[in-house]
Structure 1
Amino acid sequence: MKLLSVLLAALTVTNSLAAWTSTPFSPASVPLAVRSPYINAWLAQGAGTALNDNWATFWTGSIVGWAGYVRVDGKVFLTMGAPSVPGVTAPTKATQTDMTFTATSSKFTLTAGPVRIVYTFLSPVTPSDLLRQSIPFAYMSVTAVSLDGASHSVQLYTDISAEWASGDNSLLVNWSTSLGSILTHQVQLQTQSQFTEVNDHIQQGSVFYSVNNGTDITYQTGQDTVLRAQFINNGRLANTQDTAFRAVSDRWPVFAFAKDFGTVGTTATAPVVFSVGHIRDPAAQYVTKGNVLQSRSSFFFSQLSTPAAVINFFLNDFANATGTAAAFDSKVNSDSAKIASNYAGLVSLSIRQAFAACELTLSKTSSGAFNTSDVLLFMKEISSDGNMNTVDVIFPAWPVLLYTNPQLGKFLLDGLFQYQATGLYPNKWSVHDLGSHYPKALGHNDGGDEAMPVEESGNMVIMALSYAQKTGDLSQLRTYFGLLDQWTQFLITDSLIPANQISTDDFAGPLANQTNLAIKGIVGIRHVSFIAMAEIARLTGDTTRANNYTSIATSYVQQWQTQAIASGGQHLTLNYGNSASWGLAYNLFGDKLLKLNLFPQSIYDMQTAWYKTKINSFGLPLDTRHTYTKSDWEIWTAGIVDTTLRNQIITAVVKYASDGMSSQPLGDWYETSNGAVEGFRARPVVGGHLALLIL
């Protein structure tokens, strides 16, 4: 923890347009409750927006109302959100003095007169604990302490709005409050539809806002202005429930708690802890053998059978969650700092975002019991598309899984392997995704998915082997070797001279003879030869196939070099025969990661020298067709160049992430000339920013 404190202190910067310090830097949007595709709340701060300057927003930018006040000796201060309450004396805005984010939490410190208030938003990341990782809940904890040596009477107010429950504010919602040792507000759409989204919000399940009960806690549900005025005037809530169910935007129903800290002195109060989460069941639909649709539940249901049990476990796990998060944050910072001091901030900003696109699920046996041996991880292609388990989205995100828990990567690939092993998918290459609309993994039995033949086939082979190498678990390779071999046969046919097709950078359009795409295919072929030699040859004595693939891959590298290097010998081309073109050869990262040594060092040296002449203020362009880039591929590229250029690339990406030119969750597609966002936001591909941690 000492190292973490020193590192954070060294990286603390003053927000240039605001009066507070930001550690390690000031991102365009700060994660608040970021745990799943549907619990995904951010503070859009742009160049400088305090916690009490604006509303929290869903990753799309739509408001999810989350308000906060404190009352100090009868005087009310606004601490969170941007509420307006007519008919009362307008609260004074508390002054934000600093903001700190780590891989798991975001902390805001505000001064409310003579009292300091600290809000900590913790979205646990526990990759090796499947139960905890699968719970789509986050914490908000608040403490108070006197700054002037005197004692003060302090009360806290917080509410969430029904906006958390829907992507359409004209829809009807209903709600309830459960009383007992835990107080829980529950809100949901009155008319629900399984596996259906509206504006990327799920139209199914319920939102829960909870706190441990006590004589110092009051609650209330009702119209936003009524509840807020009640607290402003009285410092407590009325312990009443509004039962006039209505549309989200009809007198804006909110769900509130108030906490009386009593007399606050110079020792910080124990934190009051709130939880916010979303539960639905079933969580996803998945196509299985015979085209049978299977409903799958969230993993946590195998141990926690009701929402009440989930909430009870989660709230009472706060001390453990805090300690676990601190240890995880410390490891992330320590490992990242060994590479570059400013790398830790980029990695930390990326982790919650990457994991929040993922959900752990399991099926049930014929008896109705949960089948804990059948775990699948689903990933939503956030913002760029609504696809489910998109192979070329999983691939750039892959480093975050290899670094934190490779088994999660296996669970992610298993769904793709299992579907294609049914024979329902007719193409000879790998499927692009499991379904066009999350959370429906209905496959593409007509073969009409977005065609990225070399891209996706190479991706699947590379990821499968990297998992096996990292863990020593060869079960997936053994089970699906037939598919891997089938895709390799396709790569042998189509990867050395790639046909006119799109790659993962599909926004740039199709292109024939892509140099970087050919690298992926060649590496994929060599990967399967490795698989054959390491496992299949051992089991079956099939050394002929292994040696044949090795020979093909080696031959392809030699042929590739004659076509891929520009006529002047200074760089690789974007596409064969176009010596004026170049691009990021990020697919060479696979050769480095798996230590195949397929490509000679001269290629890496050549690219390093060339990129040093092309790097712009905000990074390396993706290729010569545009000046924009992808931050994930930049960090992958940083893994194949020398230390000097690696650090330049990291610095450029951090500069973009902290330039304040947007107010959206971290986007991976941006302009290298000025740092402006091109598109995409909140995507899991930022897991690729951890690429340097897995080399």
Structure 2
Amino acid sequence: MLILYFFLSFGLLAYAQSPGSLGDFPLAVKTPYLHAWVRNANGNAPQQEWPQLFTQEHILAWNAMIRVDGQPYQWLGNSNIANFSTTTSSEITPTSTIFTIQAGPMKFKATFFTPIEPNDYTRQSIPFTYLFVDGFVADDGNPHTIQLYSDISGEWISHDLSTQMKWDTQDSPDNMVYHHLEPRDPKSMIDNADSAEDATAYYATPKRPGLTWQTGADTDCRTRFAQNGSLTNAKDTEFRPVNSKWPVFTFAIDLGSITPTTQPDPVVWALGLVRDPLVNYSAGSGFQSRIGYYWSAYRGIDDVISDFLGDFANARVRGQTFDDGLLKEASAISPEYAGIISLVTRQIFASMDITIADDDRGRKSPSDVKIFMKDISVSKRANPVEVIYAALPALLYFNASFAHDLLLPLFEFQSSSSYPNGYASPDLGSGYPTIGGNTSATEELAIEHCGNMLIMAYAHAAKSGDGSLISIYHPLLQKWAAYLVQYSLHPNNAVSADGISYPGMSNLALKGILGVHSMGKIDEQLNLSNTTFKDKANELIQSWKQFAVTDTHIQAEYGKPGTWGLMYNLFPAVWLETGLIDDEILNREAQFYLSKAPPGDQSYSLDDNAGRDIAHPHWSLMTAAVIPSGFRPVRDALIQSTHLQAYNVSQKFPLPMRYTASTGVASFGTTGSAAQGAAFGILAMNLKNVEISRSNSGGSGNVEKRTPIGAIVGGVIGGIAFVLIVATAIFFWRRRRVHRLRGGIDLHDEHHAKPHPFVTQYAPVNNNDSAFQFSQQRSDASLSPPPWQESLPEPFSEPQNSERPHSYTSGRNHLSATPTLPITAPQPLSTKQREILRQNQSHQSQPSESAVSTLTNPWSAAGSGREDVLRAEVDELRREMEAIRNIAQPPPSYQ
């Protein structure tokens, strides 16, 4: 049941729910293998239950207690060492799950906070999440002594409880303590029932007065804290299996006496699950190890943990800004919609590994970025095409780079000689995290996935302005479009992504036709004179209307007026401004839905096929996005029925891929699929098509710009000044770089904060456009920063409001910093630029003697004319500046 607390001064409605409303709460949901939830079967989560993997088939022991005036209370987990406290309220936002807990006379807040950083690949790829405790309030108004405790077990690193472990504790002399544990013999690239068998778990906390720690048997450590409120700072050195005397890795913090007028700093723990490498990937020419993007910015794990802990206050402010903006926009649709957005946002990002090539490790801009998505909750498939298609509205809403970098390996593999089929593949194989591609014969899925890939390629270009994918992979797209021209109108012997296989499927046929139309638009955008696909799409859609559209609705199956379904593939037809489906058809379809689900109906779904009793929540919400404004009750019914399944304690899995429409019980998949990104279709409808630029290409279509050397040599004095200025710049840059390599990472480096930005709502499309010129091309609404990014503080700046309210009942201070200015991302590297960069990297750490002497005295080369020497030196400086520019700027992105 929803609780609307009150309107804030900025009009934001709080979205919260009572403790009994959600059957499964997200806790640490960050990566495909760091994906912990807690059941709410007793209505008192997170107490009396152990957190579990999203499958609910493997415990991830995470335990926490509080001592109030010497009396211990358990508030996370189920160790039976102390009495249980009580959860008095719970709240869920896109980044956080927040519990208000009563322990004796003391209330406090426990927040499971997973930062979401869509415009910062470095931070988004760090496989860590926060748990913090604050907000202490005594019911009686008296002082009380407080100690806190938390631990994790070896279950985080293996699904097999007999796995032999090893571990250690690092006690940094300055800023932190962390435990790390791993299998003694890790099994690289093994997915065991959705658990990684090659991961290292880290549990860390900042140093502060009253901190103690310990490793040892679970009963020993927990009992000691319950009795004494402290730990021994001692290591257990008896390495053993996960389930042998259950080793745990613990922290305790003595906060002393808390009074009504004193509030301690938040107690913060960081939990991480690190795999290195993340995936083995083959594009058809041998496997390549790929690592997390964040390794391009860090030298070692100590730097990662120190930075993550040190950034907590700022991350908390950024998270609040993200939550406030997104919930403000979602709440304008409905409170139920805000609740769905709050539930699904973390899991979209947690399905992906953002990777770079292993040779990109080090403090430099990565030159090869690819994202791999696991088919969370369903299978081990890599980059499942129908899931990416469902998630596309969210990907483009937050940052078009995600769509580009997910689609890139699919295009790359299917362009290789290893791929034998003349139609699109459904995925990159089923062995995640080993990604070898899928060469199976899957022609029954060809219409589905050729349509998906063509629609997504065009949608990415149309909503971002980046024409790189459609330019580079144009021949592959043409091949798939030609297949659809032949087979899409009559999809016989075809199967949709939902497993439907009857002949004459109008929804699947529509997807194929939209794929052909997308190819026509791609040709048009690339200034090709060929109009074949555009003309053919118009011909196909007219035939489709004759076969599928009746006076009342669109038939699910040609020639059978009694059949109907949710026509979710209408979404790209409207979203991409195709003009293929007119308003009359949309109005009739909405009116028909209204007759099937009158306002106030409390069913779990507006069934997509009444005879099958099956609901797909992601398709329900994608359909809701195209309901005309005159039929808002239909849109609301689709949202409410989906919300009813999600926020219902009787449902073990909120929003699985498929559930029984009449009962809400999961029938396919569990919790956590990125396909629920389809919920963002309603918000993504505000993204308008923009001008597509081929100059944004990340490959061969990019033209290298050269310095006019002759003009520089023509003016000797000007040349000398240029050389000296650039030489000075290189000297200070190299000195700064050497300092950073020796002394650590410059955390104020803006390129660490924004390695891969592209925000379709307000980023310029063309590198030659000024912000003013760009504003002439787009509406004021589309130029505005997305609501979740308004007033975003600069990374590592002092937080404007270090206190994050956890309940809208106590108010929430909206930040009011200056809105982020339009970002112009750099051009990606051309092949030639990358070669220059490789040639120069050997000189970057320390200039050669000849280079130093040349820069000191540009006229010292005996036996050469001054003009030749200047030309040579300018060439050298051009290469140096090229390398500097490529290192300092983020790698592949869009103008």
Query: TM-score range, shorter-chain basis?
Result: over 0.9
Q: CA RMSD in A?
A: 2.0
Residue type matched to 1:252 in 2?
W
Corresponding letter in the other structure for 1:499: N
1:4 to 1:527, Cα distance in 2 relative to 1, 3 A? farther
2:659 alignment counterpart: 670
Question: Secondary structure at 1:121's aligned position in 2?
Answer: strand
Shift of 1:6: 7.9
- The separation in 2 between residues aligned to 1:644 and 1:327, in whole angstroms, is 31
Alpha-carbon offset, residue 191 of structure 1: 1.4
**Equivalent in the alignment of 2:722:** none
Q: Secondary structure at the match of 1:246?
A: coil
Deviation, structure 1 residue 146: 3.0
The 5 A counterparts of 1:167-178 are 167-178=159-170
Letter in 2 for 1:606: R
Q: For residue 159 of structure 1, what is the aligned residue in structure 2? A: 151
Name the counterpart of 2:70: 74
1:70 offset after TM fit, Å? Answer: 0.8
CA distance in structure 2 between the partners assigned to 1:472 and 1:644 by the alignment: 34
Determine the structure 2 residue equivalent to 1:132: 123
> Residue in 1 aligned with 2:86?
95
Q: Matched residues in 1 for 2:276 and 2:54: separation?
A: 22
* Shift, 1:237, TM fit: 0.5
Within the alignment, does 1:556 sit opposite 2:540 as a pair? yes
Compared CA separation, residues 14 and 558, structure 1 to 2 (3 A): same
User: Quick one: which of 602, 608, 614 aligns to 2:590?
Assistant: 608
**How much has 1:659 moved relative to structure 2?**
1.8
Counterpart position of 2:741: none
SS at match of 1:345: helix
The match for 1:54 among 49, 55, 58 is 49
Structure 1 stretch displaced more, 671-680 or 57-66? 671-680
Task: State the 1:584 CA deviation.
Answer: 1.3
TM-score (norm 2): 0.72
Task: Say whether the 8 Å CA contact 1:168–1:199 is kept in structure 2.
Answer: no
Matched, 1:599 2:566: no
Q: Report deviation, 1:582.
A: 1.6
Question: How big is the shift at 1:451?
Answer: 4.6
Secondary structure of 1:281's counterpart equals: coil
CA gap of 1:12–1:347, structure 2 versus 1, over 3 A, is: closer
Q: How does 1:105-504 map to 2 (within 5 A)?
A: 105-143=96-134, 144-180=136-172, 181-266=175-260, 267-289=262-284, 291-365=285-359, 372-445=366-439, 447-448=440-441, 451-504=444-497
* CA deviation vs aligned residue, 1:418-464 (integer Å, no higher than 9, x gap): 1112132111111111121111110124x345851011111111111
Q: Which runs of 5+ in 2 are unaligned?
A: 686-895
Q: 1:407 to 1:366 in 2, by over 3 A?
A: closer
Q: Which amino acid letter does the alignment assign opposite residue 117 of structure 2?
A: T
Task: Please give the alpha-carbon distance, in whole angstroms, between the structure 1 residues aligned to 2:361 and 2:35.
Answer: 35
**Does residue 40 of structure 1 match 2:35?**
yes
Q: Which residue of 2 aligns with 1:589?
A: 571
Counterpart of 2:562 (choices 534, 555, 580) is 580
The reply to whether residue 27 of structure 1 matches residue 9 of structure 2 is: no
Distance 1:205 1:46 in 2: 30
Query: How big is the shift at 1:54?
Result: 0.8
Quick one: structure 1 residues 400 and 76, their matched pair in 2 at CA, closer, same or farther if it must change by over 3 Å?
same
Q: Deviations over 1:603-648 (max 9, x none)?
A: 2122112212223612211224411110010011112223221011
Q: Does the CA contact (< 8 Å) of 2:17 and 2:91 recur in 1?
A: no
Code of the residue aligned with 1:518 in structure 2: it is A
Please say if residues 392 and 403 of structure 2, whose CA atoms lie closer than 8 Å, have aligned partners that are also in contact: yes
TM alignment of 1:497-646, pairs within 5 A: 497-506=490-499, 509-535=500-526, 537=527, 542-543=528-529, 545=530, 547-565=531-549, 569-615=551-597, 617-641=603-627, 642-646=631-635
CA distance in 1, matches of 2:538, 2:188: 50
Shift of 1:49: 3.1
Equivalent pair of 2:158/2:197 in contact (CA under 8 Å):
yes
- Matching of residue 104 in structure 1 with residue 95 in structure 2: yes
Instruction: Give the match for residue 22 of structure 1.
Output: none
The structural deviation recorded for 1:271 is 0.3
Task: Describe the SS at the equivalent of 1:452.
Answer: helix
Counterparts in 2 of 1:95 and 1:199: CA distance versus 1, 3 Å = same
Which secondary structure state, in structure 2, belongs to the residue aligned with residue 225 of structure 1?
A: helix
CA distance in 1, matches of 2:341, 2:8: 14
Instruction: Between 200-209 and 447-456, report the one with greater CA deviation.
Output: 447-456
**Matched-pair contact (CA < 8 Å) for 1:59–1:665:** no
- In the other structure, the counterpart of 1:21 is none
CA shift for structure 1 position 4: 6.5
1:662, CA displacement in angstroms? 2.2
User: Contact 1:302 / 1:370 at 8 angstroms: preserved in 2?
Assistant: yes
**8 Å Cα contact 2:645-2:655 kept in structure 1:** no
- Measured against aligned partners, the alpha-carbon deviations of 1:279-312 in whole angstroms (never above 9, x if no partner) come to 11111111124x2111111000011121211111
1:651-666, aligned counterparts within 5 Å?
A: 651-664=640-653, 666=655
Would the aligned equivalents of 2:17 and 2:90 in 1 still touch at CA under 8 Å? Answer: no
User: How far apart are the structure 2 equivalents of 1:628 and 1:300?
Assistant: 41
The structure carrying a bigger strand percent of its residues is 1
Does the aligned pair in 2 maintain the 1:336–1:344 contact within 8 Å? yes
Q: The residue matched to 1:228 in structure 2 has which SS?
A: helix
**In the TM superposition, what is the alpha-carbon distance from 1:369 to its structure 2 partner?**
8.4
- Deviating more after overlay: 236-245 vs 334-343: 334-343
The 2-side partners of 1:174 and 1:450 are apart by 48
Deviations 1:247-276 (A, max 9, x none): 111111111100000111113321011000
Paired AA for residue 297 in structure 2: Q
Deviation, structure 1 residue 397 = 1.2
The answer to which of 624-633 and 5-14 deviates more is 5-14
Q: Which amino acid aligns with 2:683?
A: L
1:128 partner SS: coil
Q: Secondary structure at the match of 2:367?
A: strand
Identify if the C-alpha distance between structure 1 residues 252 and 5 changes in structure 2 by more than 3 Å, giving closer, same or farther. Answer: farther
Q: Tell me the secondary structure at the aligned position of residue 596 of structure 2.
A: coil
SS in 1 for 2:633: helix
Whole-Å Cα distance in 2 between the matches of residues 366 and 166 of structure 1? 29
Alignment check: 8 A CA contact 1:4 1:333 kept: no
SS of alignment partner, residue 69 of structure 1: strand
- Distance in 2 between residues matched to 1:74 and 1:11, nearest whole Å: 36
Asked if the contact 1:282/1:297 (under 8 Å) is kept, the reply is: yes
Q: Quick one: distance in 2 between partners of 1:623 and 1:4?
A: 41
TM (norm. structure 1) is 0.93
User: What secondary structure, in the 3-state scheme, does the structure 2 residue paired with 1:262 have?
Assistant: strand
Distance between the aligned counterparts of 1:153 and 1:5, measured in 2?
36
3-state DSSP of counterpart to 2:354: strand
